[in-house]
Chains A and B, each alone.
Chain A
Amino acid sequence: MARLSRDGDGQPPGRRGPEHASPVVAGRPACAHARANRLQSSQGQLQTLADRLISAQEEERTRIARDLHDDLGQRLVSLSIALSNLKRRVAESGDDTLRRDLATLQEQAAQASSDLRHLSHDLHPGALEHMGLSDALRARCAEFTEEAGVRARLIASEDWNDPTDAIALCLYRVAQEALRNVAQHAHASHATVSLERLNSHVRMRVSDDGRGFDVATTALVRASD
């Protein structure tokens, strides 16, 4: 059976006199204010955690890119040089079959070295640090045109100037993934990346003239790592 709680003078809370009502009413705004402060503090902590997560992700990518370039990349270069020397010696011996096999191995090593360089670049776009966002995207469009056979171009508004590092890196990652989708799925012949400033925002649009693709399969909407 439910019991009505009573305060120290034996009155239920709802039967207090007017002289007792004001602290309760006055407590409500104070309580709401405290809740608002806690909410603001939680949002701040969440934002800090998000920033740390993004930073940790980028630092890890940078480390892997450096390891790939400095270690594996150098070993592949050494392997290519060794194969080249061996091919020259075999050519002198007159064994054509062996020479052709070695030439194939040399091509494979060169291709692996090139793939590794692209992978390292994708993981950590050094051009972004050295050139800034608009020039790095322009360079990426030129590379993309050559690699994918899709004519890509960058259009930046006249008043464009590069945003903060976090925003620039985020925009670069989106453009990178969008162009990857164009190459893999869109069957497009043209792609355009445009940058513009709108009051307190920057806007980037990546568009193509292809046939569209299943958005759910891309890192735009699913976790890529």
Chain B
Amino acid sequence: MSLTERVRMLGGTLRVNATQPGGTTIDVSLPTGGQDAT
């Protein structure tokens, strides 16, 4: 399972911008009311 899939399973999103000038940005957003799976 990829990390993107894992984030999606928890109801969130993961976006990668690796082509922008000046470096890479990875944004992850997750709901605070998400499931406590561990």
Contact = CB atoms under 8 A, between A and B. Distances in A.
B2 A204 contact: no
Contacts of A202: 29-30, 32
B3 A174 contact: yes
A209 to B, nearest CB: 4
B35 A220 contact: no
Contacts of B16: 215, 220-221
A54 B14 contact: no
Contacts of B18: 212-215
Interface stretch (A22-30, A63-71, A78-86, A161-169): A161-169
B15 to A, nearest CB: 10
A86 to B, nearest CB: 45
A207 B26 contact: yes
B25 A206 contact: yes
A51 B6 CA distance: 9
A186 B24 contact: yes
Given A166-B10, A174-B7, A209-B23, A51 B35 contact: yes
Given A220-B3, A220-B14, A212 B27 contact: no
Interface residues of A, number: 50
B28 to A, nearest CB: 5
A123 to B, nearest CB: 14
Contact of A166 (B4, B24, B34): B34
Contact of A167 (B1, B26, B27, B34): B34
Given A47-B35, A51-B37, A220-B3, A167 B22 contact: no
A165 B38 contact: yes
A186 B7 contact: no
A171 B10 CA distance: 11
A50 B23 contact: no
Interface of A: 47, 50-55, 57-58, 163-167, 169-171, 173-174, 177-178, 181-182, 186, 188, 197-198, 200-215, 219-225
Top 7 A-B pairs ranked by shortest CB distance?
A51-B37, A166-B37, A50-B9, A212-B18, A164-B36, A165-B38, A209-B23
17 contacts: A55-B37, A163-B34, A164-B36, A165-B37, A167-B30, A167-B31, A170-B30, A173-B3, A174-B3, A174-B28, A188-B23, A203-B29, A204-B28, A207-B23, A208-B24, A212-B19, A224-B3
